[in-house]
Every structure is written in structure tokens, then in C-alpha cells.
């Protein structure tokens, strides 16, 4: 029985925000602000007239919210049968009956349409690439059914944020925001492997694919560590390419420290702190790194 009949509008909004884990927007959104800032400063440095537009920033934020909401809602819709069988996820909105599968799918469709429409009002390249971006973020939900590389596909989806925000401002590609995108890709894939450790046994039993299910806990943590080393390499590379202010290197030190701290918290014989490593550590890493990076970009 659906639990929506006697809920208030505020309750329904809260349920949908929970459905898409809105709080987890903190992972990729700060990197979108980095890409946006690079774009604004690049245009100013060319000597072209450019008036900062709050409207453009707002449209970029809408794109982030709509694309991520579509991806998360679709993931919950597609995985509803597995979520219902997994004790860890059985209380999610769709298996718990708070939101119906039909409502979840409708929410996905509406969010996808709003994302594409919003890109139309930004520039032609954003609009054309919106279909590619939408395919990537929705396709991720299928990948656990056939490949252990699903974590990398998720990384690609979130890695679109800095380069996408840059394109929203400039209408073109550039190396510096791409380096930040590569850092997001490897960072996200690495911490998603850590998160997936919780479902290693369940995935094996239900023929679902993941690095932990394929390699075991110890090897999965080694792969995650390797990806996080690459994430650190990309932000260091970006620092040299962008000739950053010294404040940037403080941000890099915090970012890399948070990556290392995750692997101190989560050990092959102790997975009890995955929640802290996943949400708290990565949230702090993303926000603080973005603050120091944006200040560095402005002051360089």
C-alpha cells in the first residue's frame, strides 16, 4: 500500500529529496562551481566583454539538480526489486511503498526533460551534449547487471560537472576543467568501490557486478587506492597547468588528506566506518577543495 495518500505536500517533497539523496549533491556541485569560475575568468582574460550573469549560474545549478535527480530516481526505479531484497536498502522509498514505481519513473522523465530544456537556454553546445550526458547518467543504472566497471561509469557521470559548467560559460572545451573532470572521475569511482563493499555478498548472490564482488574486499580497496592516487595526480597536474595561487595547494593538501583518511578508516577486516568515509570525508574534501581552488583562481 502506497504511503502517499495521507501525506502533506511537504512530506512528499521530503520523500522525493530522500529518493534522490539530494544531500549527496555536495560531491559534484563544488566542482561545477570550479568549472564555472574557470570559464568566467577565461573569458575575461581574452579581453571580451563579459558581464557576470546570475541567471547563467542559476541555469547551471538547475542542470546539475535535474540531471542528478533523473539519474538517482532512475537508479531507484530500476533497482527496486534488488533494493527490496537487500536488508540495507529495503527501506528506500520505492521498495518501502512511500513512492510508487510509476511515480519514480515519471519523476525521472520530468527531470530529464527539464535538464534538456534548461541546456537549450544556455548555449547550443550544451544542448547538443545534454543528450550524451543524459545517456551516461541514466545508463549507469544498467551497468551493475553486466560489468564490474560500473564504478567508473558513475565517475564519468559526475565528472561531467566541471567541464559541463565550463562549457555553459564559454561554449568550448579546455584542458584545465578537463583535468578537474578526470580527478572527479577517479575520486568518485574510488569512493564508490568503498561504498560497494557493503553489498559484496549480496551482489555475488544475485549475479550483480562490482569490483568488490569480482575481486574481494582486500583487492577492491587496492583498486580504490589506485584510483585515488590518480585523483591526486590530476589535481596536482591542474595546479601546474593553471599556475595556481599558493592557496590552491592548501586545498590540494586537504583533498589528498581526505582521500588518505578514507583508506585509514576502512580496512579489509573492519568495514564499520564506511558511512563516515563515504559521506563525511568526501563531502569535506569536495567543499573545502572547491573553496580554496576558487579563491586561488580569483587571486592568481
Please report where in the chains the cell 592516487 appears, as a residue. 229
Three-state secondary structure call for residue 267 = strand
pLDDT of residue 195 exceeding 70, the answer is yes
Contacts of 8 (CB under 8 A, 6+ apart): none
pTM given for the model: 0.92
More confident residue, 300 or 141: 141
- Cβ–Cβ < 8 Å for 261, 191: no
SS3 282: helix
- Joined together, the cell numbers standing for residue 195 give 561504498
CA separation for the pair 57, 284 (Å, rounded): 23
Cell triple for 244:
595556481
Per-residue pLDDT averaged across 102-126, rounded? Answer: 96
Confidence of residue 51 (pLDDT cuts 50, 70, 90): low
* pLDDT for residue 3: 45
The span from the CA of 33 to the CA of 131, in Å, is 22
Handedness of CA 121, 125, 126, 130 (dihedral sign): positive
Q: How much is the average pLDDT of 81-106? A: 94
Residue for grid cell 534538456: 116
Q: CA 28, CA 35: separation in Å to the nearest integer?
A: 11
Q: Where does the pLDDT of residue 23 fall: very low under 50, low under 70, confident under 90, or very high at 90 and above?
A: low
Of the listed ranges 146-160, 266-280, 285-299, the one predicted with least confidence: 266-280
Classify domain 9-299 at the CATH topology level.
Answer: Tetracycline Repressor; domain 2 (1.10.357)
Higher pLDDT, 31 or 23: 31
Residue 2's pLDDT band (cuts 50, 70, 90)? very low
Q: Hunting for cell 564504478 — which residue is that?
A: 151
- pLDDT at residue 89 greater than cutoff 80: yes
Average pLDDT over residues 261-272: 92
Model confidence at 4: pLDDT above 50: no
In angstroms, the Cα distances linking 65 to 46, 60, 80, 103, 238 are: 31, 9, 22, 18, 26
Amino acid at each position: 500500500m502506497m504511503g502517499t495518500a495521507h501525506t502533506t505536500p511537504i512530506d512528499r517533497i521530503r520523500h522525493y529529496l530522500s529518493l534522490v539523496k539530494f544531500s549527496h549533491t555536495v560531491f559534484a556541485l563544488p566542482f561545477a562551481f570550479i568549472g564555472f569560475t574557470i570559464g568566467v575568468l577565461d573569458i575575461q582574460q581574452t579581453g571580451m566583454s563579459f558581464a557576470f550573469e546570475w541567471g547563467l549560474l542559476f541555469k547551471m545549478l538547475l542542470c546539475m539538480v535535474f540531471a542528478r535527480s533523473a539519474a538517482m530516481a532512475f537508479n531507484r526505479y530500476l533497482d527496486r526489486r534488488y533494493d527490496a531484497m537487500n536488508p540495507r536498502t529495503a527501506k528506500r522509498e520505492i521498495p518501502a511503498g512511500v513512492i510508487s514505481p510509476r511515480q519514480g519513473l515519471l519523476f525521472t522523465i520530468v527531470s530529464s526533460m527539464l535538464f534538456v530544456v534548461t541546456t537549450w537556454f544556455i548555449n547550443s553546445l550544451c544542448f547538443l551534449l545534454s543528450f550524451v550526458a543524459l545517456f551516461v547518467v541514466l545508463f549507469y543504472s544498467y551497468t551493475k547487471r553486466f560489468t564490474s566497471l560500473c564504478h567508473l561509469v558513475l565517475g564519468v557521470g559526475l565528472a561531467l560537472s566541471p567541464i559541463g559548467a565550463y562549457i555553459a560559460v564559454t561554449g568550448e572545451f579546455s584542458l584545465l576543467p578537463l583535468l578537474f573532470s578526470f580527478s572527479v572521475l577517479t575520486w568518485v569511482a574510488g569512493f564508490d568501490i568503498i561504498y560497494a563493499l557493503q553489498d559484496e555478498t549480496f551482489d555475488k548472490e544475485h549475479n550483480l557486478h562490482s569490483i568488490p564482488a569480482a575481486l574481494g574486499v582486500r583487492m577492491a580497496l587496492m583498486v580504490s587506492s589506485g584510483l585515488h592516487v590518480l585523483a591526486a595526480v590530476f589535481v596536482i597536474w591542474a595546479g601546474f597547468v593553471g599556475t595556481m595561487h599558493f592557496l590552491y595547494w592548501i586545498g590540494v593538501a586537504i583533498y589528498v588528506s581526505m582521500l588518505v583518511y578514507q583508506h585509514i578508516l576502512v580496512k579489509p577486516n573492519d568495514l564499520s566506518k564506511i558511512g563516515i568515509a563515504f559521506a563525511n570525508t568526501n563531502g569535506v574534501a569536495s567543499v573545502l577543495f572547491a573553496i580554496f581552488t576558487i579563491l586561488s583562481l580569483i587571486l592568481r
